[in-house]
């Protein structure tokens, strides 16, 4: 068979395969949407029936228990008391069916309705749709406190504006998280690691690391060689961010950072700006990913108008929401002079609870 004819045939087969793949994806998406709407309608009917018997305090409890007793033997565990309670909450959280996202499935909505804070829930809705997160990825982002970690360096309005695509990030503080959570590396918490071990683990789990970075990152290189006269230097990890339109360099330090570390990273940033960066691209960003950091060292080692060098602490375990809120409270109180109020015996920021 002539080469040209073979190429035409191959292109034809590829096109047919694409049609089949798209049809399968659309079918799955359609089934998922119908499942979501089914549980929404069930929740709606339970809620409406409860309202009719609202004068009886236990009516709702008996209603769901009896309904599950009728449905579960015939239709399975997807109609248990717990699932019916979630369906009712689903309807109460999203009372207008037209506001439901067709891109999200029932498993994802089950995660979302468990979030009481409306702004936080809205953030994860937008990000899950925008980034096509799976249920597992959405669960990971929620459990890692992504929303709270972004609030450590941004206000709530800016975080939501980026999620809604009403605003394009224009500074590293809007997308670089501190701390960064690397629990997916599977490394045990211990006194120290070699930097090359942490770097290797990140490369092995690159997809998960990109999920943690989020918002437009692409991997470029590992151990990027820089030759300055007769001296060799190597940048640990090089990424590109299409939203900020710039290179993002990561240097890994498994010990507490020093001003020498910041100076070395500044040199790498300067090199990329003068040699690698195209004229229409923005200034390179350098991120020092460290086990611990001294904020005073960062502050006084860098210029006051610094916008390109950041230090981000990493941790190898998922933080609790309480830990993140405590850190958020401390940051806001220190840098924004936010008034504190006492609620239920615990000190909490007004800003956090908006």
Separation of alpha carbons 142 and 240, rounded Å: 25
Instruction: Give the Cβ contact number of residue 217 at 10 Å.
Output: 19
pLDDT the model gives residue 316: 82
Strands 180-181 vs 217-228: parallel, antiparallel or unpaired: unpaired
Q: Where is average pLDDT lowest: 17-26, 91-100, 125-134, 332-341?
A: 332-341
**Lookup result for tokens 């001294």:** 294
Describe the strand order of the beta sheet including 217-228 as a list of residue ranges.
180-181, 309-315, 285-292, 246-256, 231-241, 217-228
pLDDT the model gives residue 283: 92
**What is the pTM assigned to this prediction?**
0.76
pLDDT the model gives residue 251: 92
Instruction: Give the Cβ contact number of residue 203 at 10 Å.
Output: 12
- Residue 289 and residue 253 in contact, taking contact as beta carbons nearer than 8 Å: yes
- Residue 66 and residue 22 in contact, taking contact as beta carbons nearer than 8 Å: no
CATH number of 173-318: 3.40.1350.10
Of the pLDDT bands very low, low, confident and very high (cuts 50, 70, 90), residue 247 is very high
pLDDT average, residue stretch 285-290: 91
Report the mean per-residue pLDDT for the chain. 84
> What are the tokens at 60?
């709702």
pLDDT average, residue stretch 109-119: 95
Higher pLDDT, 343 or 273: 273
pLDDT the model gives residue 269: 94
- The end-to-end CA distance of the chain, in Å, is 69
- Residue 317 and residue 183 in contact, taking contact as beta carbons nearer than 8 Å: yes
pLDDT tens digit sequence for 137-167: 999 999 988 998 888 877 888 888 888 888 8
> What are the tokens at 68?
């599950």
Higher pLDDT, 331 or 3: 3
Separation of alpha carbons 279 and 58, rounded Å: 69
The backbone region for 153, taken as left when phi is positive above 0, alpha when psi lies in -120 to 50, beta otherwise, is alpha
pLDDT the model gives residue 353: 41
pLDDT the model gives residue 265: 92
Residue 354 pLDDT > 50: no
pLDDT the model gives residue 317: 81
pLDDT tens digit sequence for 295-352: 777 776 777 777 788 888 888 887 776 777 777 676 656 544 433 343 344 444 444 4
pLDDT average, residue stretch 213-219: 89
pLDDT average, residue stretch 42-53: 84
- Residue 318 and residue 181 in contact, taking contact as beta carbons nearer than 8 Å: yes
Instruction: Give the Cβ contact number of residue 153 at 10 Å.
Output: 20
| Burial of residue 119 (number of CB atoms within 10 Å: 0-12, 13-18, 19+) | middle
Of the pLDDT bands very low, low, confident and very high (cuts 50, 70, 90), residue 127 is very high
Share of the chain above pLDDT 70, in %: 86
**What residue segments make up the domains of the chain, in order of their start?**
3-98+105-114, 173-318
> What are the tokens at 184?
């997916």
Of the pLDDT bands very low, low, confident and very high (cuts 50, 70, 90), residue 282 is very high
pLDDT tens digit sequence for 252-261: 988 888 888 8
- CB hemisphere CA count around 52 (13 angstroms): 6
Residue 11 pLDDT > 50: yes
């Amino acid at each position: 068979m002539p080469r040209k004819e073979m190429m035409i045939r191959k292109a034809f087969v590829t096109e047919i395969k694409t049609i089949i793949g798209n049809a399968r994806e659309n079918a799955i998406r359609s089934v998922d949407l119908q499942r979501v709407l089914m549980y929404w309608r069930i929740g709606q009917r339970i809620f409406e029936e409860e309202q009719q018997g609202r004068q009886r305090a236990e009516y709702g409890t008996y209603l769901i228990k009896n309904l599950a007793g009728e449905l579960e033997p015939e239709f399975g565990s997807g109609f248990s008391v717990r699932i019916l309670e979630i369906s009712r909450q689903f309807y109460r959280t999203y009372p207008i069916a037209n506001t439901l996202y067709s891109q999200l499935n029932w498993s994802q909505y089950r995660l979302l309705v468990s979030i009481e804070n409306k702004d936080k829930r809205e953030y994860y809705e937008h990000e899950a749709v925008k980034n096509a997160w799976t249920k597992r990825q959405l669960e990971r982002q929620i459990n890692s406190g992504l929303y709270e970690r972004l609030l450590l360096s941004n206000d709530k309005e800016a975080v939501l504006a980026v999620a809604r695509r009403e605003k394009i990030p224009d500074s590293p503080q809007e997308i670089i998280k501190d701390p960064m959570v690397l629990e997916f590396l599977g490394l045990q918490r211990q006194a120290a690691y070699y930097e090359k071990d942490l770097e290797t683990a990140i490369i092995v789990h690159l997809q998960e690391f990109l999920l943690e970075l989020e918002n437009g990152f692409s991997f470029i290189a590992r151990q990027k060689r820089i030759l300055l006269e007769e001296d060799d230097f190597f940048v640990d990890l090089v990424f590109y961010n299409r939203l900020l339109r710039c290179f993002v360099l990561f240097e890994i330090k498994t010990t507490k950072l020093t001003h020498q570390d910041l100076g070395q990273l500044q040199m790498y940033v300067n090199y990329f700006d003068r040699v690698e960066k195209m004229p229409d691209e923005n200034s390179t960003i350098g991120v020092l990913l460290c086990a611990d950091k001294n904020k005073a060292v960062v502050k006084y080692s860098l210029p006051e108008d610094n916008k390109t060098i950041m230090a981000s602490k990493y941790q190898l375990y998922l933080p609790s929401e309480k830990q993140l809120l405590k850190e958020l409270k401390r940051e806001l109180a220190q840098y924004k002079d936010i008034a504190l109020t006492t609620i239920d015996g615990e000190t909490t920021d007004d800003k956090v609870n908006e």
